Amino acid sequence: MPVTWRGRLGRAALDTLVGTAIAVGALLSIVLFVTTTYFVVISVIGIGFLALPYCTRAVRWLADLNRRAAARSGVPVGRPYRDEPQEIEKDIVGWMRRCKWILTDPATWRDLLWLLLNCLVGLVGFVPAALLYYAGEGLFLACGLWQPIAQGGQGRWYASVTVDSWPAAFAAGLLALVVLTGWIFLSPLVLKGYAYFVQFLLGPTRQSELAFRVQHLAETRSGALDFQAAELRRIERDLHDGAQARLVSLGLQLGAVDRKMAQDPEEARRLLRQARTSSVQALSELRDLVRGIHPPVLAERGLADALRALGLASPLQVTVVADLHDRLPDPVESAVYFAVSELLTNALKHAEATRVEILAWCEEDILHARVTDDGRGGADVSAGTGLEGIRRRLASFDGTLKIDSPPGGPTVMKLELPCALSSPKTSSS
């Protein structure tokens, strides 16, 4: 879609505002650099530790604003900081641990280097505003402002033209239009060049990216192992409390039949009927257990029919709309199936919902699933429900779980998973 002149003007005007903010931030960089460096130096004798966390918070706030400005110019810049240690004590020991975490993070020192260089480089943000001002000055001179200035006996110098007559004012106006055109086209380029400077100093290095990936793999592997252990415990519990108890009861009933066969045939027949009922229940529980491991409908008929089977088995009013024309890899279908199953359980147990809508479709090699209920809302991943487990298991496949659950309103949970994935990343770790 071609960019209109109106769109270019709006973009240049916004770039001018952003550039001015960047330049003001460059002036602030001087203060932050001097202040932070001072407290880092005097932290050797212990005094600087009192103010260092506050200075670091201000520095990272300014750095984050510049990262957002770079992302607006089409240069995304990630945050390279290490995660803050958990459960830091609210005393002097915890304060010292926080300062140690700050000083041992390489990104802290790169922030200081960026502050030092940004004092000069960030001033390029004034370039769009300067071009706009200079173009405006030439246009005002061309409109007749040169006359009161020239009454003093000397015209105003604009570019290479001395504006002391109408022909010179006309030439100044043409030059101002050239400057204005330069402002329109150069403003985005100036900000993009600054964005690459921000990316070079404030973006994550290869070492930090590798550390983040290792941490992500460790977290997803831990989540996968926890899920595997929980599944094993569930299978053992279901076997012990369900099918195994039924089979033991069946053996006892058959022993009683053997003793009653000659003495009381009617009682023996009654026990046989009970044994047959117990065998049917044991077989049903074994089928449910196997279905929980890998549902047959998922293996035989695919994810769409498996989701419809979930809706039929649920006591809620479930509507399933699945637009999945091709079969997906087994790990992807299994991950989405069990995630949707747990979301239905949460809607029934916690949200007190009565109706649920399930949508599933593939778009640009991404499998999307959306579960919407009419419950009481307020779902929160950090509230201790099974949502955190779902999020961790999806993360092991590079998937995401997004929740929109206002209190008292409908809950919308969106799952996204790459369609081309054949196995979880944790399997190789």
Which candidate, 135, 180, 136, places its Cα nearest to that of 8?
Answer: 180
CATH 1.10.375.10 fits 301-428, yes or no: no
AA letter at 80: P
pTM of the model: 0.53
What values do phi and psi take at 382, rounded to 5?
-85, 10
pLDDT value of residue 423: 41
Quickly list DSSP for 32-83.
HHHHHHHHHHHGGGTSGGGTHHHHHHHHHHHHHHHHHHHHHTT------PPP
| pLDDT tens, residue by residue, 29-57 | 999 999 988 888 887 776 767 788 888 88
Q: Rounded CA gap, 318 and 310, in Å? A: 9
By residue count, the chain amounts to 429
Q: Rounded CA gap, 340 and 227, in Å? A: 16
pLDDT value of residue 301: 81
| pLDDT tens, residue by residue, 232-243 | 777 777 666 666
Segment among 16-20, 47-51, 301-305, 343-347 with least mean pLDDT: 47-51
Q: Where are the domains of the chain?
A: 1-204, 207-293, 301-428
Q: Rounded CA gap, 109 and 37, in Å? A: 10
Residue 221: Cβ within 10 Å count: 17
Q: Which residues contact 425 (CB under 8 A, 6 or more apart)?
A: 217, 220, 396, 397, 398
Highest-pLDDT range among 188-192, 399-403, 418-422: 188-192
Structure token pair of residue 268: 């023996």
Which candidate, 195, 212, 208, 206, places its Cα nearest to that of 68?
Answer: 195
pLDDT value of residue 90: 66
Which candidate, 374, 384, 363, 367, places its Cα nearest to that of 410?
Answer: 374
Residue 154: Cβ within 10 Å count: 10
User: Strands 355-363 and 317-323: what pairing?
Assistant: parallel
